[in-house]
Amino acid sequence: MLRHFSRKSLALLMLLLSFFLFVTQAKTLLLDDSDDSSHLCVYVGDTVTIKLASNPSTGYSWGQPEGIAHLQLLSAQPEQGPADRVGAPGFQIFSFKATEAGESTLSLNYIRPFEKNTPAVKTFLVTLTIEPRPFIANNPAAKP
């Protein structure tokens, strides 16, 4: 009986170990103004965080994201800039999670929300190709 239990335990341990060795971990991709008009590839489960310069004291802000197919908006937050004074420019940070394979063209418009029917003064655009997460050996010595 003990020998039978021990073989089952060993088999279960090997199964769990192989699962952890062959599943890659989700990553976070950080984007900023310099990534405008880029085409990038990410995996399902990865997070894409976009940090864009903003100055809400002028009435302008980055509007709601458009074209977020295959993505889930996790957060949209303001961040104070390096200068600690009223009216100083800062940032808006948007985080998305890739939820399924496909292509998404993500668009953010820098607008004054109270000025209806006025074109954006800036647009940030990025195309994401989202691929299924591969199963590969997790080797810390391997270089990407």
In CATH terms, 25-131 corresponds, of 2.60.40.2020, 1.10.3720.10, 3.90.660.10, 3.20.10.10, to 2.60.40.2020
| pLDDT tens for each residue of 114-144 | 998 999 999 999 999 999 988 765 545 444 4
| pLDDT tens for each residue of 65-93 | 998 899 999 999 998 877 777 778 899 99
pLDDT, greater one: 95 or 22: 95
- Check whether 63 has a pLDDT greater than 60: yes
User: Is the torsion defined by CA of 8, 10, 15, 20 positive or negative?
Assistant: positive
Distance (Å, whole) CA 3 – CA 46: 43
Beta pairing partners, 79: 91
Distance (Å, whole) CA 106 – CA 41: 13
- Check whether 19 has a pLDDT greater than 50: yes
- Check whether 38 has a pLDDT greater than 90: yes
